[in-house]
């Protein structure tokens, strides 16, 4: 584990009377790490409330040119909450995401969001132009907005310089916005109120530094444990009953999934590496997993999430399998399955005794495969795991991907 801003989640497999931690390894049982706190991209049921205007204001960037790139201070995801008491909030609930050449906005992110072209018009002015994806506007409708950011660049205000040709867009954009994509690192924050959220750092499309590439909707009881460029994890804390211990559910996304090389039986537990000779496509990965010794897999089922096609399979360890890696406490029986590519913190997944895994692999095009893994913290009987996976699937089916534009 490397620290608050960069760490790799690790696995703890349970051996009799002990817990074996595999650094950078098979995440099937326990997440460990530091606690991070941040403002998330929360839209529904927001409790942020009306924001005071900070006393300090940052000036517009002096480096600009007409038609040039959107200033870095603005290229974030922003939100504003519902009014808690009528009359105290001047603007309706909504979100805005500013990227290079495109502004996306609406009540919540997803298929129903509106999009307009955007460009720099002056030192502190932006010009937006309606395109085919701009709702309730005619193509070509133009509006110009003066911008400012306040505090520590966490509050943005958009003010029309004159009436927008599209009144509906002016109503949606004008006013103050609170930045919603401040980073979340290991440990996550408190439980999320039910609603729709945006990721801050997760980067499944290999466009680092652009927030809001994934939106998701959670019911009560979920929180974010990890929001990093190569990994994103949601965590549901289950209450223990009088007869059984608590069994938490986790949903872990790997931005650039790779098949992990198998352990040489009895070798020291350590960092995963790529399995040799395995392609990066969904079919290649599925075939390699299903052919691996010790893995029992269901027949892959076609699956579409957020408009991207893929395959779903459920995995568990063969009862006769005894192979694994060697830790100080003994042999950690199991089979590594996937890990993330590239440097920095990430997630690895595998299977162990009574630790099944549901896996969805999505083709994000351009040779990129996204892995969505569902598993439990603690041992899982088949019936309990099926119930928890059933509760997690609506969250996964709510995923909407927002591929950044060039």
Q: Are residues 16 and 155 in the same domain?
A: no
Domain's final residue, options 154, 179, 204: 179
d(C-alpha 402, C-alpha 174), whole Å: 23
Q: 181: buried, middle or exposed (CB in 10 Å: 19+, 13-18, 0-12)?
A: buried
The whole-model pTM stands at: 0.68
Each residue's pLDDT, cut to its tens digit, for the chain (406 residues) gives: 222 222 333 333 322 222 233 332 333 332 222 222 222 233 333 322 222 333 333 444 444 456 677 888 898 888 886 544 444 456 778 889 888 788 999 988 877 889 999 999 988 999 999 999 999 999 999 999 999 998 777 889 999 999 999 999 999 999 999 888 776 655 556 788 888 888 888 999 998 878 889 999 999 999 998 888 899 999 987 765 444 445 788 999 999 899 999 888 878 887 778 999 999 999 999 999 999 999 999 999 999 999 999 999 999 999 999 998 887 777 888 999 998 876 555 678 899 888 899 999 999 999 899 999 998 876 666 777 888 898 899 999 999 998 887 6
48 found inside a domain: no
Neighbour-count burial for 39-49, b at 16+ CB within 10 Å, e otherwise? bbbbbbebeee
6 found inside a domain: no
φ, ψ at 73 (rounded to 5°):
-60, -20
Q: Are residues 352 and 247 in the same domain?
A: yes
Specify which residues 279 forms β-bridges with: none
d(C-alpha 183, C-alpha 202), whole Å: 9
Q: Are residues 200 and 165 in the same domain?
A: no
Q: Are residues 233 and 100 in the same domain?
A: no
Specify which residues 331 forms β-bridges with: 326
Q: Are residues 341 and 266 in the same domain?
A: yes
Q: How far is CA 307 from CA 17, 106, 201, 304, 401, in A?
A: 46, 20, 21, 6, 8
Tokens standing for residue 271: 């960092």
52 found inside a domain: no
Residue 319: CB partners within 8 Å, gap ≥ 6? none
Q: Are residues 63 and 31 in the same domain?
A: no
406 found inside a domain: no
Q: Are residues 72 and 211 in the same domain?
A: no
Q: Contact, 294 vs 317, CB < 8 A?
A: yes
Query: How many domains, the chain?
Result: 2
Q: Which domain holds residue 79?
A: 57-179
Q: Are residues 332 and 290 in the same domain?
A: yes
What pLDDT is attached to residue 9? 35
163 found inside a domain: yes
Q: Are residues 160 and 272 in the same domain?
A: no
Query: What radius of gyration, in Å, describes the C-alpha atoms of the chain?
Result: 23
The structure tokens 């699937």 sit at 393
Q: What is the DSSP string of 219-277?
A: -TTEEEEEEETTEEEEEEPPPP-SSS---EEEEEEETTEEEBPPPPTTPBP----BPTT
160 found inside a domain: yes
Please state the separation of Cα 129 from the chain's center in Å.
30
Longest CA pairwise span in the chain (Å): 73
At 404, is the secondary structure helix, strand, or coil? coil
Q: Contact, 306 vs 401, CB < 8 A?
A: yes
Q: Are residues 172 and 192 in the same domain?
A: no
Kindly state the DSSP code that residue 2 receives in the 8-state scheme.
Answer: -
Please state the separation of Cα 94 from the chain's center in Å.
20
d(C-alpha 140, C-alpha 143), whole Å: 10
What pLDDT is attached to residue 124? 93
Kindly state the DSSP code that residue 60 receives in the 8-state scheme.
Answer: P
Sign, CA torsion 277/281/283/286:
positive
Domain's final residue, options 179, 214, 230: 179
What pLDDT is attached to residue 292? 94
How, if at all, do strands 357-363 and 348-351 pair?
unpaired
Q: Contact, 20 vs 29, CB < 8 A?
A: no
374 found inside a domain: yes
Q: Are residues 130 and 205 in the same domain?
A: no
Tokens standing for residue 82: 């519902």
d(C-alpha 270, C-alpha 263), whole Å: 9
d(C-alpha 177, C-alpha 167), whole Å: 19
Domain's final residue, options 179, 209, 228: 179
Measure the N-to-C terminal CA separation of the chain; round to a whole number of Å: 35
Q: 22: buried, middle or exposed (CB in 10 Å: 19+, 13-18, 0-12)?
A: buried
d(C-alpha 145, C-alpha 184), whole Å: 30
Containing 382, the helix (H) or strand (E) segment is helix 382-397
50 found inside a domain: no
Q: 13: buried, middle or exposed (CB in 10 Å: 19+, 13-18, 0-12)?
A: buried
Q: Are residues 199 and 131 in the same domain?
A: no
The structure tokens 């839209």 sit at 43
d(C-alpha 328, C-alpha 24), whole Å: 16
């Amino acid at each position: 584990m490397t620290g608050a801003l960069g760490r790799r989640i690790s696995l703890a497999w349970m051996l009799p009377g002990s817990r074996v931690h595999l650094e950078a390894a098979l995440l099937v049982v326990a997440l460990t790490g530091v606690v991070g706190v941040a403002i998330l991209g929360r839209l529904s049921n927001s409790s942020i409330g009306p924001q005071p205007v900070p006393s300090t204001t940052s000036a517009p960037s002096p480096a600009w040119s007409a038609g040039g790139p959107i200033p870095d201070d603005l290229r974030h995801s922003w939100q504003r909450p519902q009014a808690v008491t009528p009359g105290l909030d001047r603007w309706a609930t909504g979100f805005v995401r500013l990227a290079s050449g495109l502004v996306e906005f609406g009540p919540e992110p997803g298929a129903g969001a509106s999009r307009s072209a955007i460009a720099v018009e002056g030192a502190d002015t932006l010009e937006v132009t309606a395109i085919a994806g701009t709702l309730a506007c005619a193509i070509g409708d133009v509006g110009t907005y003066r911008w400012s950011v306040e505090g520590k660049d966490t509050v943005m205000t958009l003010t029309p310089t004159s009436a927008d040709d599209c009144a509906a867009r002016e109503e949606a954009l004008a006013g103050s916005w609170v930045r919603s994509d401040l980073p979340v690192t290991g440990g996550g924050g408190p439980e999320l109120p039910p609603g729709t959220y945006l990721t801050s750092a997760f980067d499944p499309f290999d466009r680092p530094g652009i927030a809001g590439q994934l939106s998701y909707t959670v019911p009560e009881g979920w929180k974010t444990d990890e929001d990093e460029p190569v990994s994103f994890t949601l965590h549901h804390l289950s209450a223990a009953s009088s007869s059984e211990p608590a069994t938490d559910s986790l949903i872990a996304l790997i931005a650039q999934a790779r098949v992990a090389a198998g352990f040489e039986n009895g070798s020291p537990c350590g960092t995963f590496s790529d399995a040799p000779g395995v392609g990066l496509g969904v079919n290649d990965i599925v075939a390699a997993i299903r052919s691996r010794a010790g893995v029992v897999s269901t027949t892959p089922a076609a699956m579409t999430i957020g408009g991207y096609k893929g395959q779903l399979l459920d995995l568990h360890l063969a009862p006769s399998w005894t192979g694994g890696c060697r830790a100080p406490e003994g042999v950690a029986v199991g089979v590594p399955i996937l890990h993330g590519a590239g440097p920095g913190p990430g997630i690895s997944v595998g299977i162990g005794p009574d630790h099944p895994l549901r896996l969805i692999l999505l083709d994000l095009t351009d040779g990129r495969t996204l892995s969505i893994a569902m598993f439990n913290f603690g041992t899982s009987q088949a019936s309990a795991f099926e119930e928890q996976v059933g509760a997690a699937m609506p969250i996964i089916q709510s995923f909407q991907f927002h591929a950044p534009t060039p």
